[in-house]
């Protein structure tokens, strides 16, 4: 009798969990596979780049919605991931690069992350590969790490260990099997986990992080062979915008690699540009093949109708645009990033959505799709209305930012509405605007001419400056009536390396003059051996 009662209690408990996470539109809780690719820009065939070989992404897009105007909150790995994994803007996470102690010690315990929310709502939850940036979050099982090194060639591995980026090229072609590369091992682990999860009779949430096409652009030879280098197009705007301010171009660039060129702030030959783009496209096709294995396993397991797949990158990446090879700018090439959401009901499949959306919207979207209650602190809003009707109205502006020095004294703030991108660069020590940029994306989508330098655009600059100052809350759709009121995070640098008196620095900055606070914080960071490098 006691055994029967224990069995009954377990069944009743599972029933309660399933009721708590099942939304009114779904008969059962769906599975979620959340794919995060590192440094993938808009160079995908599903985003009208027909020269890219990414058939599995096309396959995914045919079952879902392609969001053509999705923007990250900050185009650097740590800040972007902290933002979309919590549904918070950078001013609430306090993350620049890398994760700050404030984010780890206060934000995550208080607000949780996407995987944490699913785990607490009864999902079998696992993380594979790179999800966070240098932070391990244990859910149902220990995170899967593929191990290995960033190069595959024994010679490159040896030189990389001895000399670092100064001795190796920023690319690698290796004639060997996919299994030698970390992303293949990650995909294989996900395939095995899907096969096992299908037998658990429990909904699962898998976050899958692929490392490519992040530098170095290393991929098996067979993916390089998909492209003819002489046919690879160059960036159309491989020159600096007219009237651009120097602060606009990031210091994160390929100049970390000294193998062939001292390439800081230089223009590559067309042959070298094509080589780099060829390497990047090979990595893209390699990751596409790994995603294909996951899609195949979902179908073979008979769970395709019960599974949503969400594909994103952590941010974009310049491939020569504005003579830049990297990220961390406030141009479209860094900020505009791919989003595809695929599945059955309620998604209006094989459609494109041109609405302005943000990466903070990912978290509430995933939770609504699963029927999990969206927490009150979320600063993004669910994209489910756009999945049902891609043409409906949504946000009237999206917001991004970027730190422009190592300890946050100078920052760029950018807003994009349906026509313009407007950016201000602030000196926070002297409380002044250092520079402005304004681009008409209707007539100048490649951002080639900074209209802010023309006096006749003064009224437009003032109007967009006000839009930027008004912030993200006033850009939400009119049907959003509930706004979170999260505290502003302390500066990221004040929660840096181990041993730095973190809270004390924060109080010093805001307890006395701001300039004195910056000076003291900088001195103390240097005393503790703080590293200002990116």
Same domain, 356 and 462: no
* Angstrom distance (rounded) from CA 473 to CA 374: 17
Q: Using CB atoms within 10 Å of the CB of residue 236, give its burial: 0 to 12 exposed, 13 to 18 middle, 19+ buried.
A: exposed
For residue 108, is pLDDT > 80? Answer: yes
Can you give the pLDDT at residue 21? 39
Q: How many domains does the chain have?
A: 3
Q: Which two tokens stand for residue 402?
A: 């970027």
Kindly report the backbone phi and psi dihedral angles of residue 455, in degrees, each rounded to the nearest multiple of 5, phi listed first: -65, -30
Can you give the pLDDT at residue 25? 42
CATH number, domain containing residue 439:
3.30.1120.10
Confidence band for 345, pLDDT divided at 50, 70 and 90: confident
283-287, 387-391, 513-517: segment of lowest average pLDDT: 513-517
For residue 519, is pLDDT > 70? Answer: no
Same domain, 348 and 468: no
Same domain, 65 and 104: yes
CA distances from 162 to 1, 158, 165 (A): 68, 6, 10
Phi-psi region of 349 (alpha: psi -120 to 50; beta: other; left: phi over 0): beta
Same domain, 335 and 385: yes
Within 8 A by CB and 6+ apart from 507, the residues are none
Phi-psi region of 134 (alpha: psi -120 to 50; beta: other; left: phi over 0): left
Q: Select the more confidently predicted residue: 508 or 255.
A: 255
Same domain, 381 and 404: no
Highest mean pLDDT among 19-33, 253-267, 304-318: 304-318
Within 8 A by CB and 6+ apart from 90, the residues are 73, 74, 79, 82, 83, 96, 401
Same domain, 444 and 357: no
For residue 393, is pLDDT > 80? Answer: yes
- The answer as to whether 297 is a domain residue is yes
Can you give the pLDDT at residue 481? 87
User: For the residues 483-498, what does the mean pLDDT come to?
Assistant: 70
User: For the residues 515-534, what does the mean pLDDT come to?
Assistant: 47
For residue 198, is pLDDT > 80? Answer: no
Can you give the pLDDT at residue 138? 85
Check if 19 is active-site.
no
- The answer as to whether 467 is a domain residue is yes
User: For the residues 223-249, what does the mean pLDDT come to?
Assistant: 96
- The answer as to whether 7 is a domain residue is no
81-95, 160-174, 323-337: segment of lowest average pLDDT: 160-174
Report the 3 state secondary structure along 268-306: CCHHHHHHHHHHHHHHHHHHHHHHHHHHHHHHHCCCHHH
Q: Select the more confidently predicted residue: 395 or 517.
A: 395
In the set 89, 117, 133, 278, the catalytic residue is: 133
For residue 17, is pLDDT > 50? Answer: no
For residue 5, is pLDDT > 60? Answer: no
Same domain, 291 and 412: no
For residue 416, is pLDDT > 50? Answer: yes
Same domain, 389 and 420: no
What are the residues facing 66 on neighbouring strands? 340, 352
- The answer as to whether 1 is a domain residue is no
User: For the residues 115-142, what does the mean pLDDT come to?
Assistant: 93
Can you give the pLDDT at residue 503? 45
Domain boundary residue, one of 335, 358, 393: 393
Can you give the pLDDT at residue 516? 55
* Angstrom distance (rounded) from CA 152 to CA 171: 11
Confidence band for 8, pLDDT divided at 50, 70 and 90: very low
- The answer as to whether 22 is a domain residue is no
* Angstrom distance (rounded) from CA 292 to CA 286: 10
Can you give the pLDDT at residue 406? 57
Nearest to 77 by CA among 331, 359, 273, 417: 359
6-10, 96-100, 512-516: segment of lowest average pLDDT: 6-10
- The answer as to whether 211 is a domain residue is yes
Can you give the pLDDT at residue 148? 92
Residue 511 belongs to domain spanning:
497-527
Same domain, 440 and 506: no
Domain boundary residue, one of 393, 408, 442: 393
For residue 239, is pLDDT > 70? Answer: yes
CA 51 to chain centre: 24
For residue 48, is pLDDT > 70? Answer: yes
Same domain, 42 and 152: yes
User: For the residues 441-447, what does the mean pLDDT come to?
Assistant: 98
Confidence band for 496, pLDDT divided at 50, 70 and 90: very low
89-103, 271-285, 456-470: segment of lowest average pLDDT: 89-103
* Angstrom distance (rounded) from CA 415 to CA 278: 32
Q: Considering the chain, what is the average pLDDT of its residues?
A: 87
For residue 442, is pLDDT > 90? Answer: yes
In the set 77, 184, 283, 353, the catalytic residue is: 77
Backbone Cα Rg of the chain? 23
For residue 11, the surrounding DSSP H or E stretch is helix 2-21
Domain boundary residue, one of 393, 412, 442: 393
CATH number, domain containing residue 35:
3.40.720.10
For residue 333, is pLDDT > 50? Answer: yes
- The answer as to whether 12 is a domain residue is no
Can you give the pLDDT at residue 115? 97
Check if 77 is active-site.
yes
Quote the pTM value.
Answer: 0.88
- The answer as to whether 13 is a domain residue is no
Phi-psi region of 172 (alpha: psi -120 to 50; beta: other; left: phi over 0): beta
Helix ranges (H only) for 63-181 are 77-86, 90-93, 101-102, 108-111, 114-120, 154-163
Can you give the pLDDT at residue 404? 84
Same domain, 348 and 459: no
Same domain, 349 and 262: yes
Can you give the pLDDT at residue 9? 42
């Amino acid at each position: 009798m006691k055994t029967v009662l224990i069995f009954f209690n377990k069944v009743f408990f599972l029933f309660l969990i399933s009721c708590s996470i099942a939304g009114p539109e779904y008969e059962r809780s769906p599975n979620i596979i959340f794919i995060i690719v590192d440094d993938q820009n808009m160079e995908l065939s599903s985003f009208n780049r027909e020269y890219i070989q990414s058939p599995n992404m096309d396959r995914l897009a045919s079952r879902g919605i392609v969001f053509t105007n999705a923007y990250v909150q900050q185009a650097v790995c740590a800040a972007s991931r902290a933002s979309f994994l919590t549904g918070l803007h950078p001013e609430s996470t306090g993350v620049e690069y890398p994760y700050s102690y404030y984010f780890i010690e206060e934000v995550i315990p208080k607000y949780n992350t996407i995987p944490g929310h699913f785990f607490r709502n009864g999902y079998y939850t696992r993380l594979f590969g790179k999800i966070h940036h240098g932070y391990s979050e244990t859910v149902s099982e220990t995170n899967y790490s593929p191990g290995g090194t960033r190069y595959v060639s024994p010679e490159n591995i040896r030189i990389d260990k001895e000399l670092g980026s100064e001795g190796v090229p920023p690319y690698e072609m290796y004639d060997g099997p996919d299994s030698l590369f970390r992303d293949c091992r990650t995909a294989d682990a996900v395939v095995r986990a899907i096969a096992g999860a299908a037998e658990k009779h429990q909904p699962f949430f898998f976050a899958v992080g692929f490392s490519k096409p992040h530098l170095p652009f290393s991929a098996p030879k067979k993916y390089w062979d998909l492209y003819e280098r002489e046919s690879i197009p160059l960036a159309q705007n491989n020159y600096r915008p007219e009237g651009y301010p120097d602060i606009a171009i990031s210091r994160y660039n390929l100049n970390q690699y000294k193998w062939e060129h001292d390439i800081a702030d230089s223009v590559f030959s067309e042959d070298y540009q094509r080589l780099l783009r060829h390497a990047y496209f090979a990595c893209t096709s390699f990751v596409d093949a790994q995603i294909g294995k996951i899609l195949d396993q979902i179908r073979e397991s008979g769970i395709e109708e019960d599974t949503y797949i969400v594909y994103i990158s952590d941010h974009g990446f310049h491939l020569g645009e504005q003579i830049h090879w990297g990220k961390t700018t406030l141009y479209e090439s860094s900020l505009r990033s791919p989003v595809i959401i695929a599945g059955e009901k309620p998604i209006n499949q094989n459609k494109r959505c041109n609405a302005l959306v943000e990466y903070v919207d990912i978290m509430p979207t995933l939770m609504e799709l699963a029927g999990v209650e969206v927490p009150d602190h979320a600063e993004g809003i669910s994209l489910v209305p756009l999945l049902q009707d891609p043409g409906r109205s949504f946000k009237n502006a999206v917001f991004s930012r970027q730190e422009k020095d190592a300890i946050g004294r100078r920052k760029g703030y950018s807003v994009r509405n349906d026509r313009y991108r407007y950016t201000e660069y602030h000196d926070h020590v002297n409380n002044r605007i250092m520079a402005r940029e304004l681009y008409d994306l209707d007539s100048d989508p490649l951002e080639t001419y900074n209209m802010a330098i023309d006096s006749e655009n003064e009224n437009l600059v003032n109007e967009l400056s006000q839009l930027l100052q008004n912030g993200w809350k006033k850009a939400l759709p009119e049907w959003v009536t509930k706004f979170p009121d999260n505290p502003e995070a302390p500066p990221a640098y004040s929660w840096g390396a181990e041993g730095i008196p973190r809270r004390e620095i924060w109080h010093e900055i805001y307890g006395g003059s701001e300039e004195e606070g910056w000076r003291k914080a900088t001195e103390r960071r240097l005393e503790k051996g703080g590293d200002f490098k990116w």
